[in-house]
Structure 1
Amino acid sequence: MKPKKLYCDLFGHNYKVTKKVTKHVKEYTCNCCKKQLTTNSNGQLTELTPKYQEINSALERIYNNRMMRLKRKTLSSSIC
Structure 2
Amino acid sequence: MMKNKKPLLFSPGAWICGILDHRFEVSQNITEHIKEYKCTRCGVEMTDTAQGFMARLTPKFKETNEFLANFYRRRCSRLKYEKEALSKAS
Note the 1:28-47 alignment, pairs <5 A: 28-47=37-56
RMSD of aligned Cα (Å): 0.6
Can you give the 5+ residue segments of structure 2 that lack an aligned partner in the other structure? 1-9
Larger Rg: 2
Note the 1:8-19 alignment, pairs <5 A: 8-19=17-28
Q: Which residue of the partner structure matches residue 72 of structure 2? A: 63
Q: Which runs of 4+ in 1 moved over 3 A?
A: none
Can you give the 5+ residue segments of structure 1 that lack an aligned partner in the other structure? none
TM-score normalised to the size of structure 1? 0.97
Q: Which amino acid aligns with 2:64?
A: I
TM-score normalised to the size of structure 2? 0.86
Q: Provide the secondary structure at the position in 2 that maps to 1:34.
A: coil
- CA shift at 1:67, angstroms? 0.1
Aligned length: 80
Higher helix residue share: 1
Q: Identity percentage over the alignment?
A: 32
Question: Which of these residues, 35, 60, 75, is aligned with residue 51 of structure 1?
Answer: 60
